[in-house]
Amino acid sequence: MGRKLFGTDGVRGRANFEPMTVETALRLGMAAGARFVRGDHRHIVLIGKDTRLSGYMIEQALTAGFLSIGMDVLLVGPLPTPAVGHLTRSMRADLGVVISASHNPFHDNGVKFFGPDGFKLSDEIESEIETIMESDPATHRAASELVGRARRIDDAGGRYIEAIKSTVPRGMVLDGLKIVVDCAHGAAYRVAPRVLAELGATVIPLGVAPNGMNINDQCGSTYPQSAIEAVREHGAHLGIALDGDADRLVLIDERGTLVDGDQIMATIAATWHDEGKLTGGGVVSTVMSNLGLERFLGGRGLRLERTAVGDRYVLERMRVAGCNFGGEQSGHLIMTDIMTTGDGLVAALQVLAAVIRAQKPVSEVCRRFDPVPQLLRNVRLPPGASARRVLDLSHVVRAILEADAALGADGRVLVRPSGTEPLIRVMAEGDDAAQVERTVAGLCETITAAAPVAAE
């Protein structure tokens, strides 16, 4: 069965509009609970969230749904997505839930699930949850005496902080390092500065005053200008810019230059390969990663396996291929020997470990390859237009094929619908920057003109 409610990373939408309503969240909690209630033991679901105003509303609705099914609920409050994955497994919960729309603006929200192993649910299990929702999840209600209980876990942040600190090499400290950390007014606003400070760094915190509506607002990984300016102003050694739920990051070197996920992957992969820690013979990333990364890894005898966009697909391929490292150009970095999902703080600490070992500045350690010219633009669709219908139009298909052929063997075109917004993403890369620019501009023009024709 195909999924209708779940997208590339859980359920997502504008808060207080379908599917992000109290009514749907209640049914979603009941259906997910029904899917994971197995056996006679007391079942536990752990719920975390970021700092969005609508998080209170969705949290209460989900909680009511789980309680009605007979699951006990542990509420951990604002914590990074990877913290919820980690705590779900370490606290032996049957299910973990994160209420977050990641890097999206505050008016969006979302729900994503972790299984008892701490990993995100598969497409198949999400489809099963949808099937229960489409029938009647109320048929799974618990008897009156078996209704669940809810309680808050006050030390959840501390547990996660200790787990993060344990990932650094023994004896490694950050004494003498000045680090800017931009928490995007999001889920890591408390824990990220504490982790770095407790490891000895001088911390310049940004984005640590959430008000429910400023998450990701001109800050964090999607707007790194604030961190760039702070690095230059304070003469910092490194800047770390997290997104709203802290499962991804970008870095800023001491010169104020951005370091994206591809360069971070190259840095960690090369370091781990040299230390004999990299498994599976390569790295898993998505179709968005730069050809320069693929060439860099190939030069070291490592392969780059590509997947569809979405960290869940990266993780699935990693598990099949036996790889312990993968990620996305956007800054999701997954290290399965350490955490069950992308973790911006863990990735930053791995880079810092490489910097400390090399005793060189970040600008040298994290510039592993020259990127192939790559350009990405988004075409926003008008109301009612279907991205899939646009991309199925014969003249659009023909334009994409012709553009890809024109770039030749040393270039490529990628056109895809966004999994989270009403956008079509148009990307091209190749050794000729001018040709790449012309290619993207031409395809965007074609798609823009075609969009009104494909209204639903």
Chain segment 245-302, per-residue pLDDT in tens: 999 999 999 999 999 999 999 999 999 999 999 999 999 999 999 999 999 999 999 9
What is the C-alpha to C-alpha distance for residues 354 and 98, in angstroms, rounded to an integer? 31
Give, in order, the Cα–Cα distances in Å from 16 to each of 57, 63, 171, 269, 310: 9, 17, 48, 42, 25
> Given its phi and psi angles, is residue 92 left (phi above 0), alpha (psi -120 to 50 degrees) or beta?
left
CATH topology of domain 11-156: Alpha-D-Glucose-1,6-Bisphosphate; Chain A, domain 3 (3.40.120)
**Cβ(285)–Cβ(265) under 8 Å?**
yes
Determine how many CB atoms are found less than 10 A away from the CB of residue 356.
17
User: What is the three-class DSSP state of 275?
Assistant: helix
Who's near 301: CB < 8 A, 6+ residues apart? Answer: none
* Cβ contact 236:178 at 8 Å: yes
- Specify the CATH number of the domain 163-257: 3.40.120.10
DSSP, collapsed to helix, strand or coil, labels residue 44 as strand
CATH 3.40.120.10 segments of the chain: 11-156, 163-257, 259-365
From CA 340, how far away is CA 87, in angstroms rounded? Answer: 10
Q: Give residue-wise pLDDT tens across range 99-109.
A: 999 999 999 99
Q: Distance between CA 222 and CA 207 in Å, rounded?
A: 13
Q: Is the dihedral of CA 364, 368, 374, 380 positive or negative?
A: negative
159-163 long-range contacts, Cβ below 8 Å, gap at least 24?
159/87, 159/90, 160/79, 160/80, 160/83, 160/86, 160/87, 160/191, 161/191, 161/194, 161/195, 161/198, 163/86, 163/90
Active-site residue among 54, 68, 102, 285? Answer: 102
Q: Taking the model in full, what pTM does it have?
A: 0.91
What is the dotted CATH code of the domain comprising 374-454? 3.30.310.50
Contacts 24+ apart (CB under 8 A), 218-221: 219/182, 219/184, 219/185, 220/103, 220/182, 220/183, 220/184, 220/185, 220/186, 220/244, 221/103, 221/182, 221/184, 221/248, 221/249, 221/250, 221/330, 221/331, 221/344
Residues paired with 259 in a beta bridge: 251
Active site residue 54: no
> Cis omega before residue 19 (within 30°)?
yes
Distance CA 396, CA 452 (A): 13
| SS3 state at 31 | helix
**Per-residue model confidence as pLDDT tens for the chain (456 residues):** 457 899 878 999 999 999 999 999 999 999 999 999 988 899 999 999 999 999 999 999 999 999 999 999 999 999 999 999 999 999 999 999 999 999 999 999 999 999 999 999 998 999 999 999 999 888 999 999 999 999 999 999 999 999 999 999 989 999 999 999 999 999 999 999 999 999 999 999 999 999 999 999 999 999 999 999 999 999 999 999 999 999 999 999 999 999 999 999 999 999 999 999 999 999 999 999 999 999 999 999 999 999 998 888 999 999 999 999 999 999 999 999 999 999 999 999 999 999 999 999 999 999 999 999 999 999 999 888 889 899 999 999 999 999 999 998 889 999 999 877 789 999 999 999 999 999 999 999 999 999 887 665
CATH 2.60.40.1120 fits 259-365, yes or no: no
Collapsed DSSP state (helix, strand, coil) of residue 161: helix
268 half-sphere exposure, CB direction, 13 A CA radius: 26
* Secondary structure of residue 56 in the 3-state scheme: helix
Q: What separation, in Å, do the N-terminal and C-terminal C-alpha atoms of the chain show?
A: 22
